[in-house]
Chains A and B, each alone.
Chain A
């Protein structure tokens, strides 16, 4: 079956530091890949997505590239802010499976001023 593995947190950074959260996946077909973010006290929000190999998703300064050869979708941001403190979830979906999402375990990121 499908699975998503992402680095465990918490990740603690200083403001303006570089952030990378690793994500790898296992899927039987050709999934779409997502990063969702959960800010403190809020619901899950889509941060970015990529639907095919070599696509780059980007939003709010975050980027992730769909790497089929390494089955990875690592999230990066060049200069984090305190407001980026949140839990980040990597996820995949396959159309044949009704697009249900399979999530990684989540990575908590804390950015200190």
Chain B
């Protein structure tokens, strides 16, 4: 079946602009995670959804970052007033539930802030 998909695959934006990154999880997966992969910080957790609620937002680096999930499926990560340090690959993962099940990762969105 289809895996986790993310769009766009690449996004180049100017400093100060807002961007939206989209994640389509595997059908039936109730847990959804956002991570960020950057040269300086490695792979870091951003936010976790169980259904449409986000019990753990502890990894969001600032209030410019927000995320939502609707219908227990698609999630959107929004970055407002982008800064150069936001440049990274943003990864989405999903799993059946927040037990010990495997997280399946999408291909990522590469964000470049000029």
Main secondary structure of the interface of B (DSSP, over half): strand
**Which chain B residues (98-112) contact chain A, with CB distance < 8 Å?**
98-108
Interchain CA distance A49-B101 in the complex, whole Å: 10
A102 within 8 A of B: yes
User: Is A98 touching B107 in the complex (CB atoms < 8 A)?
Assistant: no
Of the listed stretches B11-19, B20-28, B48-56, B62-70, name the one at the interface; the rest are far from the partner chain: B48-56
Known: A44-B91, A101-B33, A106-B43. A95 touches B105 (CB 8 A): no
Interchain CA distance A49-B99 in the complex, whole Å: 14
Interchain CA distance A49-B103 in the complex, whole Å: 11
A45 within 8 A of B: yes
B35 within 8 A of A: yes
Q: Which residues of A contact B91 (CB under 8 A)?
A: 43-44
| Binary CB contact string for chain A from 35 to 60 against chain B (1 if under 8 A, 0 otherwise) | 01000001111100101000000000
Interchain CA distance A51-B33 in the complex, whole Å: 20
User: Is A89 touching B102 in the complex (CB atoms < 8 A)?
Assistant: no
Closest to B45 in A: A100
B88 within 8 A of A: no
B79 within 8 A of A: no
Q: Which residues of A contact B95 (CB under 8 A)?
A: 99
B42 within 8 A of A: yes
User: Is A106 touching B42 in the complex (CB atoms < 8 A)?
Assistant: yes
A32 within 8 A of B: yes
User: Is A99 touching B100 in the complex (CB atoms < 8 A)?
Assistant: yes
User: Is B102 touching A49 in the complex (CB atoms < 8 A)?
Assistant: yes
A binding-site residues for B, Cβ under 8 Å: 32, 36, 42-46, 49, 51, 89, 91, 93, 95, 97-106
A-B contact pairs, 11 of them (CB 8 A): A42-B107, A44-B91, A44-B93, A46-B102, A51-B100, A98-B50, A99-B99, A99-B100, A100-B33, A100-B45, A100-B56
Closest 4 CB pairs of A and B: A103-B43, A44-B105, A43-B107, A100-B45
